[in-house]
């Protein structure tokens, strides 16, 4: 049995994935224990560059079947003149439960943030899911959360949609 798992983030083609202001992993935890990572390696791949990060999970945390895994990731997205921007996740394997959070810089000029878990394919009965703003008004457009506390099939996705306005949009 392999103990290797790959988690991928797609970064806009013209942004430099090796720049920590474009993409960086803040913390990785397994069973609420922080896992140190190796130095990032840069790879040339078809269509651009990739940043490869590796984390050694201690043997004690590989002995049982289920473990909560948490990533804190910063990913920059180019918006340009778009007024509606979608940021979406997709599961490539079945997982037991997940929580997705998104926080947006107030300078972006987001008027509204919509959270959706409509493309989620449950394994069994889907219960207790929620998609909502993290902050109360008038700051509700700056952060959102989607909680899915049930097993989901590979291919399930979650989306955050931003409606952008204002002078700072696209800058």
Domains in the chain, number:
2
Choosing from 62, 77, 92, the residue where a domain stops is 77
User: Looking at per-residue confidence, does 34 or 1 come out higher?
Assistant: 34
Q: What is residue 107's DSSP assignment?
A: G
pLDDT digits (tens, 9 = 90+) for 32-51: 889 888 878 888 888 778 88
Is residue 9 within 8 Å of 73, Cβ to Cβ? Answer: yes
- Mark which of 55, 77, 99 sits at the end of a domain: 77
In a shared domain, residues 44 and 127: no
Whole-angstrom CA distances from 14 to 17, 18, 48, 56 are: 9, 12, 9, 31
Domain carrying residue 89: 79-171
Do 8 and 52 fall within a single domain? yes
> What was the pLDDT predicted at 95?
79
Question: Do both 71 and 91 map to the same domain?
Answer: no
Domain boundary among 77, 109, 132: 77
Query: Which residues pair with residue 45 across a beta bridge?
Result: 48
pLDDT tens string 111-150: 888 887 766 777 777 677 777 788 778 777 888 888 888 8
C-alpha–C-alpha distance, residues 162 and 99, integer Å: 19
Predicted confidence at residue 171, as pLDDT, reads 45
Are the C-beta atoms of 9 and 51 separated by less than 8 Å? no
Per the document, the length of the chain is 171
Q: pTM for the complete prediction?
A: 0.70
Asked whether 11 and 75 are in contact (CB, 8 A), the reply is: yes
56 and 4 part of one domain:
yes
Q: Locate 43 and state its tokens.
A: 């790879």
Q: What does the pLDDT read at residue 150? A: 82
Q: pLDDT tens-digit profile of 43-91?
A: 888 877 888 888 888 877 776 667 788 888 888 877 778 888 888 887 7
- Cis preceding linkage at 94, omega within 30: no
Q: Confidence class of residue 5 from pLDDT cuts 50, 70 and 90?
A: low
Answer yes or no: do 72 and 153 share one domain.
no
């Amino acid at each position: 049995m392999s103990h290797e798992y790959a988690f991928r983030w797609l970064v806009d083609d013209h942004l430099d994935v090796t720049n920590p202001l474009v993409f960086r992993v803040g913390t990785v935890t397994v069973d609420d224990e922080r896992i140190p990572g190796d130095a990032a390696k840069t790879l040339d791949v078809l269509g651009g560059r990739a940043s490869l990060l590796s984390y050694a999970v201690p043997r004690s945390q590989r002995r049982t079947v289920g473990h909560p895994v948490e990533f804190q990731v910063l990913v920059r997205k180019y918006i340009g003149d778009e007024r509606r921007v979608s940021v979406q996740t997709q599961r490539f394997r079945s997982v037991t439960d997940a929580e997705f959070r998104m926080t947006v810089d107030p300078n972006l000029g987001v008027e509204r943030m919509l959270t959706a878990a409509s493309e989620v394919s449950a394994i069994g009965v889907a219960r207790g899911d929620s998609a909502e703003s993290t902050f109360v008004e008038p700051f509700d457009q700056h952060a959102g959360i989607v909680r899915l506390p049930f097993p989901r099939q590979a291919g399930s996705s979650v989306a955050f949609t931003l409606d952008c306005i204002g002078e700072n949009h696209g800058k």
